[in-house]
């Protein structure tokens, strides 16, 4: 079982890398989803897999009898899934907003923050005078 | 005293809730935000005093005994990082009074800022690897929000690159945690210190160590993983990019120092050699990148990268003196770098642009600002008697001590190139006349703006000069911090208790 899941982790990473190498930002995000799932699965497998041995403690006992499944990796994976879900939801919203505002999903075409050399530089803001004191502070 | 360890995390979280509820009353929200930062500063000083007096402080959350529950630990390095976080947070909160517009305030700038501080403090104080991951995420999601808050087109553009590459780093970190847990069966950092010795396949451990180098390397923006930083740090408002520049990458460096002094010390000849190569490339590429830029904040962003190289260099040399240098550098750099970003904001405010070709005349019009710029700029380049001189001096002496002459040569050369690009900012923004023929003056700002913009800059500059003129106590402090890092027995004992019990 461990071997099969390890291979699955490898396949997921390979597919993720393939998707992340695309120029389309949306594909990159999909790749990221796969990659984070691969990481979750890797944690799960790293905690060792046991078959049908839930870590349950009988009433009155202090420890479960015999060898049971390791509950900690599952707790870690749950936490990681929740955090990953939040981050990816944010990333998707950001990509959508960027598509609306910048009109492209091509990461090579996103040069607004880093314009190519030779692009004309925007002019300086108009001069402030002490008369415009009432003006709201600007970023 | 264990409550003292939780407060630097709880307080900003609480403040975040309060300022979020007050987001439609900007006046009250600002006051609460500043009040929160001031109390955080007090707590950080208290924590520092306690750790200095009593040694490493540890607290078990929920009273679960050490390797099973989550532990909060403060050694001297953690304590000083929390202190410097509080100082930077306070300075930026005051600066934000004039720098953040009402739109961004209503959308929750102050709340995100407080969550960011909570995440940074949490990352510095935790003694558990998975908990470190959680704090990284808290910090990351707050920084995502701050970076794109306001939604300018350039912010979205820079934000995408920042978000994408930082998420990749997160996945690497998570995978490293999973594999390390699979090999050792523990996630407590102090427990890991002993557990890694017992791992049979030491080669596999080195592979995991490299995963951590990549994960923290992306966070701390080292060569060749730094590309998100110059793509994004110049897009948000100055009050945001200053706190990013001061704190965020340094959390990555802190995590590297923590992991590679406490846990991954079994194959120093490989891991630290790799870090050394990374550090040298980071220093050189960063400073060359800065020389090629023509925008105030982009030059400063590339300088961050080059300076990160110095800190990683201290860790990579892995001698007592080099670690002293790394700790000193970390503290000095946060103050100086945040300050330079704050100054760039004032320059843009009165001269009209961040583009160096579009501004000028600041020396003639605002000599006070020029003077305040020279202090952190010279400190960054390593001029005596400012703080940067001692930081560089310690590192170069450390490399000469182990006869790493090439390393010392690169460190000096990069310092020289730093002066070159600082001269460029000086010549373009301050010395040459303004291309539009106007004279930028500080009197263009309102009285309130002048206060809230210049007071934090003056405070941070005074600290730079203070550390430079009286370096002794700071070096003694860094020596003790380095001693704790290189002999982690006291750290382990504080967390796990006496070995006999």
Give the pLDDT of chain B (501 residues) as one tens digit per residue: 578 899 999 999 999 999 999 888 878 888 899 999 999 999 999 999 999 998 888 888 888 887 888 899 999 999 999 999 999 999 999 999 888 888 888 888 999 999 999 999 999 999 999 999 999 999 999 999 999 988 888 888 889 999 999 999 999 999 999 999 988 988 999 999 988 888 888 888 999 999 999 999 999 999 889 999 998 999 999 999 999 998 999 999 999 999 999 999 888 888 899 999 999 999 999 999 998 888 899 999 999 999 999 999 999 999 999 999 999 999 999 999 999 999 999 999 888 888 888 888 888 888 999 999 999 999 988 888 889 899 999 999 999 998 889 999 999 999 999 998 888 899 888 888 888 888 888 888 888 888 889 999 999 999 999 999 999 999 999 999 999 999 988 898 888 886 644
Contacts of B104 in chain A (CB under 8 A): 139
Q: Which of A116, A137, A38 is nearest to A84 (CA)?
A: A38
pLDDT over threshold 50, residue A133? no
DSSP state of B444: G
| Dihedral (CA of A39, A94, B301, B443) sign | negative
| pTM of the complete model | 0.93
pLDDT at B499: 63
By C-alpha distance, which of B197, B214, B217, B194 is closest to B205? B197
End-to-end CA distance of chain A: 56
Q: Is B449 on the interface with A (CB under 8 A)?
A: yes
Average pLDDT value for residue range A47-73: 81
Q: Calculate ∠ Cα B303-B420-B99, nearest 5°.
A: 45
* Chain B nearest C-alpha distance from A41 (Å): 9
Peptide bond into B224 cis (omega under 30): yes
- Nearest residue in A to B145, CA atom: A90
CB of B54 less than 8 A from some CB of A: no
- For residue A38, the chain B residues in CB contact (below 8 A) are 171, 175
ipTM surpasses cut 0.90: no
In B118-218, the DSSP E strands lie at: none
pLDDT recorded at residue A136? 46
Cα separation, B458 vs B445, whole angstroms: 16
Whether the CB of B150 is below 8 Å from some CB of chain A: the reply is yes
- Residue B501: its pLDDT value, please? 43
Residues 6+ positions from A78 with CB-CB distance below 8 Å: none
Q: List helix spans (H) across B55-108.
A: 76-99, 102-106
Q: What is the pLDDT of residues A15-37, one digit of tens each?
A: 999 999 998 999 999 999 999 99
What was the pLDDT predicted at A138? Answer: 46
Angle between helices B26-54 and B76-99 (to 10 degrees): 160
How is residue A130 annotated by DSSP? G
Mean pLDDT for the stretch of residues A1-25: 92
Taking the CA of residue A55 and the nearest CA in chain B, the distance in Å comes to 16
CB-based contact A47 B151, cutoff 8 Å? no
pLDDT single digits (tens) B290-308: 988 888 999 999 999 999 9
* Rounded mean pLDDT, A129-139: 46
Q: What's the confidence (pLDDT) of residue B12?
A: 94
pLDDT at residue A129, rounded to an integer = 59
Q: What is the Cα Rg of chain B in Å?
A: 22
Closest CA to B237 of B160, B345, B163, B339: B345
Closest chain B residue to A48, measured at CA: B182
């Amino acid at each position: 079982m461990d071997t099969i899941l390890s291979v699955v982790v490898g396949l997921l990473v390979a597919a993720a890398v393939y998707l992340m190498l695309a120029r389309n930002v949306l594909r990159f995000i999909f790749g990221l989803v796969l990659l984070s799932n691969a990481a979750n699965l890797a944690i799960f497998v790293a905690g060792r897999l046991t078959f049908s041995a839930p870590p349950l403690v009988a009433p009155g006992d202090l420890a479960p009898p015999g060898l049971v499944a390791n509950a900690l990796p599952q707790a870690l994976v749950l936490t990681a899934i929740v955090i990953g879900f939040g981050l990816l939801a944010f990333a998707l919203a950001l990509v959508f907003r960027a598509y609306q505002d910048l009109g492209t999903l091509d990461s090579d075409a996103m040069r607004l923050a880093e314009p190519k050399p030779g692009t004309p530089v925007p002019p300086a803001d108009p001069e402030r005078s002490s008369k415009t004191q009432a003006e709201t502070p600007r970023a | 005293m264990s409550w003292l360890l939780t407060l630097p995390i709880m307080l900003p979280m609480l403040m975040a809730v309060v300022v979020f509820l007050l987001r439609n009353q900007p006046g009250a929200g600002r006051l609460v935000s500043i009040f929160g930062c001031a109390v955080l500063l007090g707590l950080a000083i208290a924590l520092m005093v306690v750790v200095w007096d009593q040694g490493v402080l540890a607290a078990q959350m929920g009273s679960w005994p050490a390797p099973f529950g989550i532990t909060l630990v403060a050694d001297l390095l953690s304590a000083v990082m929390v202190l410097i976080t509080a100082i930077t947070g306070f300075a930026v909160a005051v600066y934000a009074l004039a720098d953040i517009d009402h739109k961004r305030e209503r959308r929750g700038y102050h709340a995100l800022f407080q969550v960011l501080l909570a995440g940074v403090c949490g990352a510095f104080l935790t003694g558990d690897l998975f908990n470190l991951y959680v704090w990284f995420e808290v910090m990351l999601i707050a920084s995502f929000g701050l970076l794109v808050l306001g939604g300018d087109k350039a912010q979205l553009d820079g934000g995408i690159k920042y978000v994408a590459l930082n998420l990749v780093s997160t996945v690497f970190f998570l995978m490293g945690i999973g594999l390390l847990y699979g090999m050792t069966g523990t996630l407590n950092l102090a427990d890991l210190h002993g557990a890694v010795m017992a791992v049979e396949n030491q080669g596999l451990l080195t592979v995991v160590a490299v995963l951590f180098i990549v994960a923290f390397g992306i966070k701390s923006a080292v060569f060749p993983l730094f590309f998100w930083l110059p793509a994004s740090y110049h897009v948000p408002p100055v009050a945001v990019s200053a706190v990013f520049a001061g704190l965020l990458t340094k959390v990555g460096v802190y995590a590297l120092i923590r992991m590679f002094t406490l846990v991954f010390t079994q194959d120093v000849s490989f891991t630290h050699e790799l870090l050394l190569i990374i550090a040298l490339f980071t220093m050189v590429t960063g400073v060359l990148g800065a020389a090629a830029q023509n925008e105030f904040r982009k030059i400063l962003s590339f300088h961050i990268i080059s300076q990160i190289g110095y800190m990683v260099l201290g860790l990579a040399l892995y001698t007592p003196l080099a670690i002293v240098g790394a700790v000193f550098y970390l503290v000095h750099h946060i103050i100086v770098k945040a300050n330079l970003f704050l100054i760039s904001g004032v320059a843009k405010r009165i001269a009209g642009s961040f583009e160096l070709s579009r501004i000028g005349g600041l020396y003639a019009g605002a000599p006070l600002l020029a003077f305040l710029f020279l202090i952190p700029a010279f400190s960054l380049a390593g001029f005596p008697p400012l703080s940067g001189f001692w930081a560089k001096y310690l590192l170069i002496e450390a490399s000469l001590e182990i006869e790493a002459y090439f390393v010392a040569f690169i460190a000096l050369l990069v310092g020289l190139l730093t002066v070159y690009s600082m001269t460029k900012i000086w010549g373009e923004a301050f010395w040459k006349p303004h291309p539009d023929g106007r004279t930028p003056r500080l009197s263009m700002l309102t009285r309130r703006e002048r206060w809230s913009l210049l007071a934090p800059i003056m405070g941070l500059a005074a600290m730079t000069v203070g550390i430079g003129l009286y370096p002794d106590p700071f070096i003694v402090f860094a020596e003790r911090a380095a001693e704790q890092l290189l002999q982690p027995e006291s750290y382990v004992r504080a967390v796990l208790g006496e070995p006999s019990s």
